Amino acid sequence: MALPLVSVRMKKSKKPSLVLTLSAAGLLIGAGSATYWLLAQRGLSSSDLLVGANIIPGDALFAVSLTTDPQQWQKLRQFGTRETQAELDKNLVQLRDRFLTNNGYDFQKDIAPWVGNDVTIAILAPAIGSKPAPKPVTTNQDAGSDQQSMVMVLPVKNPEIAKSILAQPKTLKQGKWIDRTYQGFAIKQSEGQVGENFSAALLDGRFLVITDNPKATERAIDAYKNKTSLATTGGFTDNFPKIADYQPFAQFYVNVPTAAKIAAASPNRPLPAQVLAQLQNNQGLAGTITLESEGIRFKGVSWLNPNSQRVLAVENKAGKMQSRLPAETLMMLSGGNLQRLWGDYVLTSQGNPLSPIAPEQLRGGVKSLTNLDLDKDLLSWMKGEFSLSVIPTTPKAGSPDDFRSGLVFMVEGSNRNSAEASLKQLDDVMRNQYQFQVQPGKVAGQPVVNWISPYGTLTATHGWLDGDVAFLVVGAPITDKIVPKPNNTLANTLPFQQTVPTEPNPTNGQFFLDVEKTVKNFPLPTLIPNQQTLLDATRSIGMTSAVSDSRSNTYDTFIALKKVTNATALPTPESR
């Protein structure tokens, strides 16, 4: 089998690449596309762990296991739009030709007879203290240097065929094949290729291990024999089964502390020592991806290091805010305890340059703008469920293009007296510092307080729902949509019910976004390549999360996608 593995390669960078490590989506598309054409054979896996988890070294930065079922890959191609299909097809064709066709390999003849049902691709962290491998192991110094490397684990369903193909590899365009032995395992590797020295070893006739670095092959064999693999990493076998699925499209794992060390060593965005110490409390992030009739589901789990002193509060009390919001709500983000959420954010984000906003900056901003102490005056009574939502106004007759929306914040208060005192302070600041008119009013018979700008326009409204839920509306006047409680709620709409997962239940937070309506009405900043193309293919996004136990969190995310009618097959090499 030599050249499929010889062709699967990853160019090395001079410095460890955190982007490569953490860009799971990119790796899923890129490596996964290549894997489809390398290994496209129908098969299902019911294993609770990643294929090859007993071979991949435990300090691996990232690992992804992908199905080789061509029906699932064809199903993936049916999602989206013609534009997203064309983008996916372009990558699939390029990778197929690069990894198979251009090297003289045919899938049905050379690969299908022996390969198993799934394949795992892993990125290893640089080996501590490693040195360039001496000749004759390799003449490519970069291949043996202390850089990230790639490992592929391919289950073997027909050992005899795999052995025969591995024993008689096709002739290299440059360089030659050499044989060596390590820990009793025969290794076939290339020598003399510029940037393309690869190794392959068949472990006990069950797994073919392919790497782009001879030292990585040795590390995989060591992990297999010495039981220092992912399967023995703290918390891996306890948490990965929580997201197991009988027919997954893909499964992945991210080693958080190892990735943090790589980030800390980066000259571009170094992590402070205190941030690195906090990240060491976290051990892993894993997920399972499945394809459903109307979209893609992600089930995830994150867990703390078993030796960490930090523990999670098992408190799942969210799930009611969607019943307070109207059906036309475009976006909702909810959580179970705002005070606790803030405390967790401070713990992991203080001094972290990768955080969206530094806690000390947010505290300072609140103080300078309102003269209120964020922790003492506000968060001290915000211990219940909260939500942040975007609700549009009802367009006036004859003005369908007159789109306006309001931002709505709701929080269940634990002490109304304290809340009332804080809100009064806030009213005084708006009146005295910003010259707003602060006027009492009523909506549907319920008392509210309106902030009217110096220009005479209603800017914000705050009040209470059900006695203990405080709300603040900013922007368009949509208070009448939440007061009184709407008859047709967001929770009762089909988009919400079909998008936001019902599990885990109970939950400590949910998220809903109507992508179609939001993108149509709001200009969004470009954050990722091909962003508009991806947004055009998406209908809605929903997520539900929960604290699973004192050391782990679970997540369920669903992305509802549009579909391409009459999806065509990929062009064959001969037809292009």
The gap from C-alpha 150 to its chain's centroid, in whole angstroms, comes to 21
Contact 487, 417 (CB under 8 A): no
Q: Which two tokens stand for residue 199?
A: 């190794």
Between vectors from CA 268 to CA 266 and to CA 269, what angle results, nearest 5°?
75
Higher-confidence residue of 223 and 107: namely: 223
Condensed to tens digits (0 to 9), the pLDDT of residues 102-161 reads 556 666 677 777 877 888 999 998 765 544 443 333 333 333 344 678 898 989 988 888
Percentage of residues in the chain having pLDDT higher than 70: 77
pLDDT of residue 367: 93
> Which stretch, 180-194, 213-227, 268-282, has highest mean pLDDT?
213-227
Calpha distance 406→476 (Å, rounded): 5
At residue 140, the 3 state secondary structure works out as coil
Calpha distance 297→53 (Å, rounded): 23
pLDDT of residue 412: 95
Residue 190 pLDDT more than 70? yes
For 70-75, which contacts have Cβ atoms below 8 Å and span 24 or more sequence positions?
70/36, 70/40, 70/41, 70/42, 71/42, 72/247, 72/249, 72/291, 73/36, 73/40, 74/567, 75/291
Higher-confidence residue of 549 and 532: namely: 549
Q: Which residues pair with 447 in a beta bridge?
A: 442
pLDDT of residue 444: 93
Residue 100 pLDDT more than 90? no
pLDDT tier at 230 (50, 70, 90 boundaries)?
Answer: very high
Eight-state DSSP code of residue 319: -
pLDDT of residue 478: 94
Residue 413 pLDDT more than 80? yes
Calpha distance 312→100 (Å, rounded): 48
Contacts of 1 (CB under 8 A, 6+ apart): 110, 111, 114, 162, 165, 166, 169, 200, 208
Residue 49 pLDDT more than 50? yes
pLDDT of residue 64: 92
Condensed to tens digits (0 to 9), the pLDDT of residues 376-399 reads 999 999 999 999 999 999 876 555
> What HEC string does 532-544 produce?
HHHHHCEEEEEEE
Q: What is the mean pLDDT of residues 447-455?
A: 93
Higher-confidence residue of 329 and 402: namely: 329
pLDDT of residue 275: 56
Indicate the helix (H) or strand (E) that contains 545.
Answer: strand 538-549
Please report, for residues 95, 371, 424, the alpha-carbon distance to residue 305 in angstroms, rounded to integers and kept in the order given. Answer: 37, 39, 44
Residue 375 pLDDT more than 90? yes
Contacts of 391 (CB under 8 A, 6+ apart): 325, 326, 328, 329, 330, 405, 406, 408, 478, 481, 482
pLDDT of residue 164: 82
pLDDT tier at 43 (50, 70, 90 boundaries)?
Answer: very low
Calpha distance 162→5 (Å, rounded): 12
Higher-confidence residue of 171 and 451: namely: 451
Residue 274 pLDDT more than 60? no
Condensed to tens digits (0 to 9), the pLDDT of residues 465-524 reads 988 999 999 999 999 999 999 999 999 999 999 999 999 999 999 999 999 988 878 877
pLDDT of residue 67: 84
Residue 17 pLDDT more than 70? no
Calpha distance 120→309 (Å, rounded): 32
The gap from C-alpha 472 to its chain's centroid, in whole angstroms, comes to 31
Q: What is the mean pLDDT of residues 210-228?
A: 92
Which residue from 141, 200, 215 is spatially nearest to 166, judged by alpha carbons?
Answer: 200
Q: How many CB atoms lie within 10 A of CB 503?
A: 10
pLDDT of residue 20: 31
The gap from C-alpha 155 to its chain's centroid, in whole angstroms, comes to 26
Q: Return mean pLDDT, the chain.
A: 80
Residue 31 pLDDT more than 50? no
pLDDT tier at 96 (50, 70, 90 boundaries)?
Answer: low
Condensed to tens digits (0 to 9), the pLDDT of residues 336-366 reads 999 999 988 887 776 666 667 888 889 999 9
Calpha distance 418→414 (Å, rounded): 9
**Rounded to the nearest 5°, which phi and psi values hold at 212?**
-100, 20
Residue 570 pLDDT more than 80? no
pLDDT of residue 262: 72
pLDDT of residue 117: 81
Which residue from 198, 186, 58, 67 is spatially nearest to 120, judged by alpha carbons?
Answer: 67
The gap from C-alpha 64 to its chain's centroid, in whole angstroms, comes to 12
Higher-confidence residue of 8 and 421: namely: 421
Q: What is the mean pLDDT of residues 59-71?
A: 87
Min mean pLDDT across 38-42, 254-258, 469-473, 478-482 is at 38-42
Higher-confidence residue of 309 and 186: namely: 186
Residue 176 pLDDT more than 60? yes
